[in-house]
Amino acid sequence: MTTARINKLRELARAERMDYIAILPGSNLIYFANVHMHLSERPTVALFPADATRQPALIVPSFEVGKAKRYSPDVDWNIYAYADGQPYQSAFDDALKPLGSVTVGVEPEGMRFLELNMMRTAAPSAKFVSADGVIKQMRMVKDAGEIAAMRKAIGISESALADVLKTVKPGMTELQVARALVEAGAKYGADEGSFEPLVQSGLNAAFPHGASTKRAINSGDGLLMDFGFRADGYPSDITRTVFVGEPSAEMRKIYEVVKAANAAGRAAVKPGVTGQDVDRATRKVIEDAGYGPYFTHRTGHGLGLDIHESPYIVEGNDVPLRPGNTFTIEPGIYIEGLGGVRIEDNMLVTETGGESLTSFGRDLMVVG
């Protein structure tokens, strides 16, 4: 798989007239080479040449060389290592000075000034451009293995949620519910959480990206739970809103509007439509119900090695969806002084339409 991805990267780089693609530690390096390293004060760069006769180069701290070789055995690295206490620039000079007047594609969101400046110093005749289109073109379309991992992560998340909902009752705090979700995910075999769970109750749920607090849940409160887990490196990202005791008539109405918007968004997914189309279909339901000003964020975001990646389901995104795209549909209504509701599902674009990878019930649920 690593070899096939690197070969495809070479092909796309040549088509865009790039001689090299420079990638830092993070999800892209994992995707292309299965090398798991974290960004630190020690610079690390992988250089993938468009020319298949040239070796990929890895500028890396010497103590990381063994890891790179072990986890990317199919990559014939030309390694430029440096030890602590040695100048980093010398490794960059050795790797890049022979390149001459080349065009190097870099990650526009991931590249740091530290590495970019050292590359420019080592190769002053080189031109540095964005490789965003090349990288996104590959990562947006998930293969069978990636989709299987996401299905596994979603299964873990839905099992964890089912367990936790059996225990929720008035008097519990948001943090207690969040911790219960984390423990249940571990029980079902999660590698780790996709992110820190966002558990918000009552008036706290009126803030889309609030945090779990020590607030005690009261009878009648809405309980918004946004969470996910990773399996085999890939995440789920699910939100369900339930009520701990009987909700007010207004919150019931809001819930049904969000549920209908979620359904409309999921129904709009098929190859050829755009993220903008799906956003509009979702948003129209909420606007027609009179709650348009209270849906304050995009309908969804791409989902993969990064919890937020392309394609974005938002006004202005006119790129057609393709089979293999995965993303969220997560409409919400948030009213300060009242509360909030969000329902989030994970979608896959198939050859003929859209499949909701998440299946946890969406009907209004009263627990506790």
pLDDT at 1: 72
The C-alpha atoms of residue 344 and residue 212 are separated, in whole angstroms, by 18
CATH code of residue 27: 3.40.350.10
Indicate whether 84 and 233 sit together in one domain. no
Q: Are 125 and 101 in contact (CB under 8 A)?
A: yes
CATH code of residue 308: 3.90.230.10
Q: Are 146 and 232 in contact (CB under 8 A)?
A: no
Q: Which two three-digit tokens encode residue 342?
A: 């969000």
Q: Residue 214, Cβ neighbours under 10 Å: how many?
A: 8
Q: What residues contact 5, with CB distance under 8 A and at least 6 apart?
A: 31, 32, 138
Of 117, 139, 161, the last residue of a domain is: 139
Mean pLDDT, 10 residues at a time, over the chain (368 residues)? 92 97 97 94 97 96 95 94 96 95 95 97 97 96 98 98 98 98 98 98 96 97 98 98 98 98 98 98 98 98 97 98 98 98 98 98 97
pLDDT at 202: 98
Q: Residue 299, Cβ neighbours under 10 Å: how many?
A: 30
Of 79, 104, 139, the last residue of a domain is: 139
Indicate whether 117 and 156 sit together in one domain. no
pLDDT at 2: 86
Count of domains in the chain? Answer: 2
Indicate whether 237 and 350 sit together in one domain. yes
pLDDT at 264: 98
The C-alpha atoms of residue 139 and residue 136 are separated, in whole angstroms, by 5
Indicate whether 221 and 133 sit together in one domain. no
Closest CA to 208 of 293, 297, 290: 297
pLDDT at 132: 95
Indicate whether 193 and 282 sit together in one domain. yes
Q: How many CA atoms lie within 13 A of 267 on its CB side?
A: 9
Indicate whether 203 and 332 sit together in one domain. yes
Indicate whether 155 and 184 sit together in one domain. yes
Indicate whether 223 and 360 sit together in one domain. yes
**Domain boundaries, position 309:** 144-367
Helical segments of the chain, H only: 2-15, 27-33, 65-71, 88-96, 113-122, 132-139, 144-165, 174-187, 249-268, 275-288
Of 139, 167, 190, the last residue of a domain is: 139
Indicate whether 212 and 346 sit together in one domain. yes
Indicate whether 334 and 225 sit together in one domain. yes
Indicate whether 157 and 100 sit together in one domain. no
First-to-last CA distance in the chain? Answer: 47
Indicate whether 237 and 322 sit together in one domain. yes
